[in-house]
């Protein structure tokens, strides 16, 4: 699988790069927990972070004029263990300078068809709003606590009512995970684009519709394999998002994270317009080999690591 991926990018003249896994900064996303460590330099230790993805460093390369690049590396996410989660996992991340989100989606499909041993008869692309409405009848972009609550009570997910309360984003995560995603299990390859703006992460907000972001996710048989963005390149907006996320961290009782100034400086210097995506390689291997747990494709999963 790795050989196929490397050949694929070599043919497209995308450069393979390596960036540090252990960095002096990390992301502020309140939903991503990281591993922190210390570089010993007495009397003061320097705090270092294992990266949850190589995104910031790769964007620094892009801003420095690298052109399109890809990387295969490990990523680390704390407190994520389950059938589809291992705290240490392999990522394939790539950026295409000058690509629209749609072009990137096509390239993702092209690669996945190459990698997959089973035939992929058709690639479905559907907007988040359309699939959410099809499955639930609810509008994901406009929050209505009453109709969300009624839906939850009628459809056997009443725990959502007490957990999510007035948190629109959490409601979407709950309903999407419990109801929408399972409806995708019959589809070999499905890409859901146009995620709500409140879940934009590091994607640009859509220029025609400010309620959605230029972000998509890839699902193989209902399992999420990757997350793609038309990359946010505005340093001011990026810094605001860091501040907002830090605020959310504070509200959740989490430590405030120092903003990655090297990354922000790179954005200020100018990130070329580009689209990028990270794919989880362990999950991809799992689906290609037709297993239903990461333990089947990782030699020593977390509890035996």
Partner 1 sequence: MARYSTNEFKAGLKIMLDQDPCAIIENEFIKPGKGQAFNRVKIRNLKNGRVIERTFKSGESVEGADVMDIEVQYLYNDGEFWHFMVPDTFEQYQADSTAVEEVVKWLKEQDMCTMTLWNDSPLSVTPPNFVELAVAETDPGLKGDTSGGGGKPATMESGAVVRVPLFVQIGEMIRIDTRTGEYVSRVKE
Alpha-carbon distances, residue 14 vs 95, 96, 143, 230, 284 (angstroms): 9, 8, 41, 18, 21
Q: Which of 177, 185, 209, 240 binds partner 1 (CB under 8 A)?
A: 177
Tell me 290's DSSP state.
Answer: T
* Interaction between residue 201 and partner 1 (CB under 8 A): yes
Q: Which of 34, 49, 132, 174 binds partner 1 (CB under 8 A)?
A: 174
Closest CA to 25 of 52, 1, 7: 52
Spell out, one character per residue from 126 to 165, where the chain touches partner 1: x when CB under 8 A holds, - when not: -------------------------------x-xx--x--
Helix (H) or strand (E) holding 219: strand 215-220
Q: Which C-beta is closer to partner 1: that of 80 or that of 237?
A: 80
Token look-up 């252990």 returns: 22
Q: Which of residues 51, 227, 275, 287 is near partner 1 by CB under 8 A?
A: 227
- Min separation Cβ 44 and partner 1, Å: 30
Q: How many residues bind partner 1 (CB under 8 A)?
A: 29
Residue 191 as a binder of partner 1 (CB under 8 A): the answer is: no
Q: Is 53 exposed, middle or buried (0-12, 13-18, 19+ CB in 10 A)?
A: buried
Among 102, 224, 234, 239, contact with partner 1 (rule: CB under 8 A) = 224
Give CA–CA dist 156/137, Å, rounded: 15
The minimum distance between CB 61 and partner 1, in angstroms, equals 22
Q: Does 289 bind partner 1 (CB under 8 A)?
A: no
- Residue number with CB closer to partner 1 (97 or 218): 218
DSSP state of 204: P
Nearest-approach distance from CB 152 to partner 1, in angstroms = 11
Please name the helix (run of DSSP H) or strand (run of DSSP E) that holds residue 89, with its range, or none.
Answer: strand 88-97
Q: Does 302 participate in binding partner 1 (rule CB under 8 A)?
A: no
Which one, 81 or 127, has the nearer CB to partner 1?
81
DSSP 254: P
115 neighbors 226 (Cβ within 8 angstroms): no
d(CA 193, CA 220): 15
Q: How far is CA 166 from CA 113, 199, 210, in A?
A: 41, 15, 21
Taking the complex as a whole, the smallest distance from the CB of residue 37 to partner 1 amounts, in Å, to: 19
**Does residue 221 belong to the site contacting partner 1 (CB under 8 A)?**
no
Q: Residue 190 CB, nearest distance to partner 1 (Å)?
A: 14
Q: What does the per-residue mask of binding to partner 1 show for 58-97, with x meaning CB under 8 A? A: ---------------------xxxxxxx------------
- DSSP states of 124-176 as a string? EEEEHHHHHHHHHS--SSS--HHHHHHHHHHTT-THHHHHHTT-HHHHHHHHI
The contact set with partner 1 (CB under 8 A) reads: 29, 31-32, 79-85, 157, 159-160, 163, 169-170, 172-174, 176-178, 181, 199, 201, 217, 224, 226-227
């Amino acid at each position: 699988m790795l050989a196929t991926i490397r050949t694929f990018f070599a043919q497209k003249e995308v450069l393979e790069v390596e960036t540090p896994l252990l960095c002096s900064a990390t992301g502020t996303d309140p939903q991503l927990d990281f591993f922190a460590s210390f570089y010993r330099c007495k009397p003061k230790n320097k705090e270092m972070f294992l990266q949850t993805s190589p995104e910031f460093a790769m964007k620094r390369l892009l801003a420095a004029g690298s052109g399109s690049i890809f990387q295969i590396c490990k990523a680390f996410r704390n407190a994520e263990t389950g059938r589809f989660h291992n705290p240490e996992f392999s990522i394939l991340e790539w950026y295409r300078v000058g690509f629209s989100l749609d072009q990137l989606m096509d390239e993702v499909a092209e690669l996945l068809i190459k990698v997959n041993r089973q035939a992929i008869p058709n690639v479905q692309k559907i907007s988040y709003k359309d699939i959410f409405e099809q499955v639930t009848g609810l509008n994901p972009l406009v929050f209505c606590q009453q109709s969300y609550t009624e839906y939850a009570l009628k459809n056997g997910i009443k725990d959502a009512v007490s957990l999510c309360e007035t948190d629109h984003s959490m409601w979407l995560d709950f309903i999407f995970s419990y109801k929408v995603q399972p409806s995708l299990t019959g589809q070999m390859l499905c890409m859901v684009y146009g995620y709500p703006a409140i879940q934009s992460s590091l994607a640009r907000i859509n220029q025609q519709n400010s309620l959605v972001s230029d972000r998509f996710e890839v699902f193989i048989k209902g399992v999420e394999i990757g997350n793609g963005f038309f990359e946010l390149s505005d340093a001011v907006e990026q810094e605001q998002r860091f501040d907002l996320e830090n605020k959310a961290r504070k509200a959740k009782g989490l430590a405030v994270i120092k903003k990655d100034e090297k990354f922000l400086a790179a954005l200020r210097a100018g990130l070329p317009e580009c689209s990028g995506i990270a794919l989880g390689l362990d999950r991809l291997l799992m689906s290609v080999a037709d297993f239903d747990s990461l333990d089947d494709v990782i030699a020593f999963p977390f509890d035996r690591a």
